[in-house]
Chain A
């Protein structure tokens, strides 16, 4: 390993890089990615202009994405020391002598916190600012005001997803299993790191390969389970069979979409919203509550998907014995991202699913 930069060597701006000469100092990747993002955003805005979709711009949107992808690949080839030969260190205050990738990951997580904070603050704002649908229903004045199924007039109120999800143990089940899946996956990723970073000689190399692959693979599987259950909860629903000795009767658990809980639900009625005296059913516009739910949990889901992509690569690499104490930090840095995904869920689950 050489931390010194060789002044007489001019590494390629396209990569891969000879790490014996120190870190690369020139790259076309940021410029390419900026141009790619520019094409992508400009064409996307042109394609969806004033509620009119102009499909002729879609190929150019794809071109923009391809340029970004190409820039990313170059950056990746150039900047990553895949075998851990060289781990660039930060030189400036306040991160001096901390690995650049570690600092970069924390700064990235900092920006991620801002993204989720804006989503949470939106949720808090709407949840506190718009009257809860159940409260409106229990007050009963909606009957006189004519917000009923019969009149077709809907009142705007906030319907939290938890009204449907926390209504029974069966409805909570997918979200609760997902919570446990993420906690277990946070544990499996630290176990993968533990075995990858064990000093040479302390562990047999075949056993290291097997254990790191097993733990990374388990994390991958748990992430897949997470997204599958999310699909079940959102779109598919599930069937509960008759288990007479437990007193469980055969029934279907509807998905949120099948219950009518959708971002465009401006004429929604919950099955319990029936006035016992008049028999009228309350009709509500719940699009704000549903949007905050789907956007927040969907953004989290996209992060889980991103983790699956990373884990697929890492598991394959581990299965070829790609992780040693020299480059185990890569698992640590990915782990930071993965724990952050878990951390966000710690907040999302109680406030969007339970309360």
Chain B
């Protein structure tokens, strides 16, 4: 644990805690409230808007916990430990890629050159 850090003069952990609480409130509200008026005239549905908000909020929450509570930001060992934490990212990408390739439309929806049986 490094020295006592602050954001805008306030304690870093308190600020992080309040930030996480606010983001979670927005998350719950995005699901509980009727967002259909917000999507009128747009090319996406209410469900897609909700997903967009949830991903948009989930990412900063993830980073805030990892960087501040788990001390991946600002500590002397941060660099190597962040790299360690990111190491599974490679496997995550592989897994998601495999999900894409095993999707029912993978054999018809993909370009011909990456379909099974194309060897030229």
Chain A residues within 8 Å of B, Cβ to Cβ:
94-95, 98, 102-103, 106-107, 109-110, 113-114, 117-118, 121, 124-125, 128-129, 162, 166, 169, 172, 176, 179-180, 183-184, 186-187, 190-191, 193-194, 197, 328, 332, 335-336, 339-340, 342-343, 346-347, 349-351, 354-355
Are B28 and A176 neighbours in the complex by a CB distance under 8 Å? yes
* 8 Å CB contact of B13 from A179, A187, A355: A187
Inter-chain pairs besides A117-B91, A172-B31, A343-B62, 5 sampled, C-beta below 8 Å: A110-B85, A121-B99, A183-B21, A186-B17, A350-B27
From residue A17, how far is it (CB to closest CB) to chain B in Å? 25
Give the Cβ gap from B120 to chain A, nearest Cβ, in Å: 29
Contact for B1 among A95, A128, A193, CB less than 8 A: A193
In the assembled complex, the Cα of A190 lies from the Cα of B91 at a distance in Å of: 30
| A351–B87 alpha-carbon span in the complex (Å) | 23
Contact residues, B46-99 vs A (CB, 8 A): 47, 50-51, 54-55, 57-58, 61-62, 65-66, 69-71, 77, 80-81, 83-85, 87-88, 91-92, 95-96, 98-99
Seen from chain B, the residues whose Cβ lies within 8 Å of a Cβ on chain A are: 1, 13-14, 16-17, 20-21, 24, 27-28, 30-32, 47, 50-51, 54-55, 57-58, 61-62, 65-66, 69-71, 77, 80-81, 83-85, 87-88, 91-92, 95-96, 98-99, 102-104
Q: Tell me the smallest distance from the CB of B28 to a CB of chain A, in Å.
A: 5
Q: State the CA gap A183–B65 with chains docked (Å).
A: 9
Q: Given A106-B81, A110-B87, are A117 and B92 neighbors across the interface (CB < 8 Å)?
A: yes
Query: Do A335 and B27 contact each other (CB < 8 Å), given the known contacts A191-B13, A346-B61?
Result: no
Complex contacts, B17 vs chain A, CB 8 Å: 183-184, 186-187
Residue on A nearest B87 in the bound complex, by CB: A110
Q: In terms of DSSP, what is the predominant structure of the interface of chain B?
A: helix
B50 with A354: CB separation less than 8 A: yes
Which residues of chain A are within 8 angstroms of B80 by Cβ–Cβ distance? 94-95, 98
| Chain B neighbourhood of A354, CB < 8 A | 27-28, 30-31, 50, 54
Does B24 contact A114, Cβ atoms closer than 8 Å? no
Q: List 12 A-B contacts (CB under 8 A).
A: A94-B83, A98-B77, A98-B80, A98-B81, A106-B81, A110-B84, A129-B103, A169-B32, A186-B69, A187-B16, A335-B69, A346-B58
Contact B50 A180 (CB under 8 A): no
- Measured between C-beta atoms, what is the minimum distance from B74 to chain A in Å? 14
Complex Cα distance, B30 from A129, in Å, reads: 26
User: Would A118 and B21 be within 8 Å (CB), given that A113-B88, A169-B32, A335-B69 are in contact?
Assistant: no
Distance A106 CA – B47 CA, assembled complex (angstroms): 36
Q: A180-B24, A183-B24, A336-B70 are in contact. Are A128 and B103 (CB under 8 A)?
A: yes
B88:A102 contact, CB within 8 angstroms: no
Q: How far is the CB of A144 from chain B (nearest CB, A)?
A: 23
B85 touches A106 (CB 8 A): yes
- Assess A117 versus B1: contact at CB under 8 Å? Given A106-B81, A183-B17, A190-B13: no
Which B-chain residue is minimally distant from A183 (CB atoms)? B20
Whether B84 and A346, one on each chain, are in contact in the complex, defined by CB atoms closer than 8 angstroms, is no
Closest residue of chain A to B53 (Cβ to Cβ) is A350
Q: Pick the contact of B85 from A109, A129, A184, A351 — CB < 8 Å?
A: A109
Q: Is the CB of B88 within 8 A of A117?
A: yes
B100 shortest CB reach to chain A, Å: 9
